[in-house]
Amino acid sequence: MNLTNHDPAVGATLAATGGALPVWTDTLSVGVDVIDEDHQAFFRIAELLHVVLGDGELAQDSLIESVLNVLGEYVIGHFWREESALLRTGYAAFPDHATGHRAFGEELANIRLAYQKGDKSAAQILPKLVSNWIYKHILVEDVQYKGYLTNQTVDDRPLVYLAAEVIPPLSEEPGYPVSISSPSD
Ligand SMILES: [Fe+2]
Ligand SMILES: [Fe+2]
């Protein structure tokens, strides 16, 4: 997809960054307050990772572990928030969108596992992983559902609540595409 054909303002943002650290602007809003807040939080994570790992130095373990936990929460809570609303509204591109979420979740899970097993260098990929996710998913895939979702159709409970496994698995919902595998544990 040519991003500039979809939203010239978003294309301009990408060009302005020159592939560097992504920067949030109001043109990236999907028109749903709580999702915009989730996305802005993700941009802040990217910034933080750039600071603590961007120069190739290993940061202190506690900080990396915190970031990994926040990312884990994001993958569960934010993806569920988007997917439950997209599924409910019959969004045609839901299968591809959810498949992208799964791929990111599995990649992150592998990094977390390696890190927990003692491979501290596994964290070095995080700045690139998170920035790529912003450029390839949030700025391309997420902006496409702008107009489909509203503040009224999206669950606005806090991420930490959604990530606390109080939410039902979407894979058990009627209409959930069987082609999408469940995320890795
Ligand atoms: Fe998103
Ligand atoms: Fe998404």
CATH number at residue 62: 1.20.120.50
Report the separation in Å between the CA atom of 102 and the middle of ligand 1, taken as the mean of its atom positions.
12
Report the separation in Å between the CA atom of 82 and the middle of ligand 2, taken as the mean of its atom positions.
6
Asked whether residue 10 is assigned to any structural domain, the reply reads no
One-letter identity of residue 84: S
Q: Which ligand is nearest to the CA of 91?
A: 2
Report the separation in Å between the CA atom of 60 and the middle of ligand 2, taken as the mean of its atom positions.
30
What SS3 class is residue 15? helix
Distance, CA of 129 to CA of 107 (rounded, Å): 9
Please compute the mean of the pLDDT values over residues 14-41 and round it to a whole number.
Answer: 82
Q: How confident is the model at residue 59 (pLDDT cuts 50, 70, 90)?
A: low
Q: Which residues span the domain enclosing 86?
A: 29-163
Cβ-based neighbour number of residue 40 at 10 Å:
13
Distance, CA of 136 to CA of 142 (rounded, Å): 9
Report the separation in Å between the CA atom of 52 and the middle of ligand 2, taken as the mean of its atom positions.
26
Report the separation in Å between the CA atom of 36 and the middle of ligand 1, taken as the mean of its atom positions.
8
What SS3 class is residue 171? helix
The whole-model pTM stands at 0.82
Report the separation in Å between the CA atom of 35 and the middle of ligand 1, taken as the mean of its atom positions.
7
CA 111 to chain centre: 16
Burial class of residue 124 (count of CB atoms within 10 Å of its CB; 0-12, 13-18, 19+): middle
Q: In angstroms, what CA-CA distances link 155 with 40, 96, 104?
A: 17, 21, 22
Asked whether residue 7 is assigned to any structural domain, the reply reads no
Cβ-based neighbour number of residue 139 at 10 Å:
21
Asked whether residue 53 is assigned to any structural domain, the reply reads yes
Q: Are 27 and 10 in contact (CB under 8 A)?
A: yes
* Total number of domains constituting the chain: 1
Q: Which ligand is nearest to the CA of 30?
A: 1
Asked whether residue 175 is assigned to any structural domain, the reply reads no
Q: How confident is the model at residue 60 (pLDDT cuts 50, 70, 90)?
A: confident
Q: Which ligand is nearest to the CA of 97?
A: 2
Q: Which ligand is nearest to the CA of 83?
A: 2
Please compute the mean of the pLDDT values over residues 162-166 and round it to a whole number.
Answer: 77
Asked whether residue 179 is assigned to any structural domain, the reply reads no
Asked whether residue 3 is assigned to any structural domain, the reply reads no
Asked whether residue 90 is assigned to any structural domain, the reply reads yes
Asked whether residue 11 is assigned to any structural domain, the reply reads no
**Between residues 181 and 150, which one has the greater pLDDT?**
150
Radius of gyration of the chain (CA): 16
Q: Are 93 and 144 in contact (CB under 8 A)?
A: yes
Closest C-alpha among 99, 142, 181 to residue 1: 142
Cβ-based neighbour number of residue 115 at 10 Å:
18
